[in-house]
Structure 1
């Protein structure tokens, strides 16, 4: 079976009730490619609003989750609380949390395990800095980030993971990896999965690209053999997000 195309929209810390409702209503009324899985990640405060407003063809994701089931962890959100709102996905390991909030590979791995063990699916974000890219360390960095997760989850649990390759230097900068650069890294990730996990996991795991994806570059990126979709930031807040969802039509 071919891998289902996947497009995620990470709203980050943007939007309020009215604007987010408008975004969801636009998606609800749009003709979206039925062969593409669509998942949006609103701010935590608005998860319930978006889940109630979005129709069944739109999945809803948290932007983060904690690695403990409950307790004295001020400001955090648990897997159980997300499930109580019928939220079935969470982002984990986004570079903004790794860089700004200093979340290391092991913490990201623990959160991934906790989310999957609790019944959520995970959009696992990985990627290198500009300095690491210029030092030819891209593959070493992304496989290191993946290896930490691989040591925490079972081979079977990879079916609950979508890997989002997001070069840090391309997030929100307007810079985009070329189609060749994106394909090269995605192919290397798939080869690592094949060698270190299993050929079946490599074949079935979706690897999506993030980093200034727009309606202008999505169709070329979508043609690459190992690019299985996108994780979209700023463009997911705009009507053009529909064009990105439909980039394979």
Structure 2
């Protein structure tokens, strides 16, 4: 699906990425409406199976009866998936960091949805900025990943977000609109229950910079408005939108208090069981 510049800005005419939005403490009703989702993305870490098994076990141990009623997942390198599953037990889900939109054939090095599904994986990332920038994955390729995961009966976390240059030009909303509309093309309203969105400003990933809760909330509200335009308000209100980008134990509570922030996709801190455990056990 191709979008003209006019279409993108028409979508955004009713809501600015940085327009004032309803702020304040997330209510119990809002928590019940969209179950929080705390997730970690290990990326190209750790370096051995033994380290992965220990880290998964240590993180799993931080999920207790006193933890918030949240979904918790770790997105790990393919080679560690089954070992991490066995180590983590039932406390959290183990997902894949990506997938190939092809199901079989001459695609050396690729991993299909059927392969992942066969070992029990139910969630996979698509559209992470590092895949877009470093590996050149296009919106069309990312859309193929999303569609194939849904077709396989799995779930997808679609990652979106603007670069620092785009942020400085006040284009966060426009970039998110394009990436949402292209990434979700062909996914029905009924299948949106198996989609989560991760808003990750590229300028905050691995840099130590974190969007203020107010900025993150305003972009999340914009993304929800875009989803309402694509589908309807009911679907937009039901879709979980996570924040990612140098989330820390110190920043998570204020982020999770925002009414449109439904969780976190955590990079570096997910490699430290104590830090990630504190994020899992956020306080609002």
TM-score, with length taken from structure 1: 0.97
Question: Distance in 1 between the 2:167 and 2:259 partners?
Answer: 22
> How far 1:30 sits from its partner (Å)?
2.1
- In 2, are the aligned partners of 1:51 and 1:87 still within 8 Å (CA)? no
Does the residue aligned with 2:255 lie in a helix, a strand or coil? Answer: helix
Q: Does 1:242 align with 2:277?
A: yes
1:203 equivalent in structure 2: 237
Structure 2 counterpart SS, 1:240: helix
Alignment partners' CA distance in 2, 1:53 and 1:30: 13
- Find the counterpart in structure 1 of residue 174 from structure 2: 140
SS class of match (1:208)? strand
Q: State the 1:34 CA deviation.
A: 4.8
Q: Hey, what's the Cα distance between the residues in 1 that align with 2:178 and 2:112?
A: 26
Q: Which moved more, 1:180-189 or 1:239-248?
A: 239-248
Matched residue SS, 1:30: coil
Aligned with residue 24 of structure 1, among 39, 56, 79: 56
**What is the 5 A alignment of 1:99-178?**
99-178=133-212
Higher relative contact order (CA 8 A, sep 6+): 2
Task: Kindly indicate whether the alpha-carbon contact (under 8 Å) linking 1:208 and 1:230 is maintained by their aligned counterparts in 2.
Answer: yes
| Aligned position for 1:79 | 113
Matched, 1:10 2:41: yes
Q: How many residues of Structure 1 are paired with residues of Structure 2 in the alignment? A: 249
What TM-score comes out, normalization by structure 2 length? 0.85
Q: Which has the larger radius of gyration?
A: 2
Matched position secondary structure for 2:50: helix
Unaligned runs of 5+ in 2: 1-31
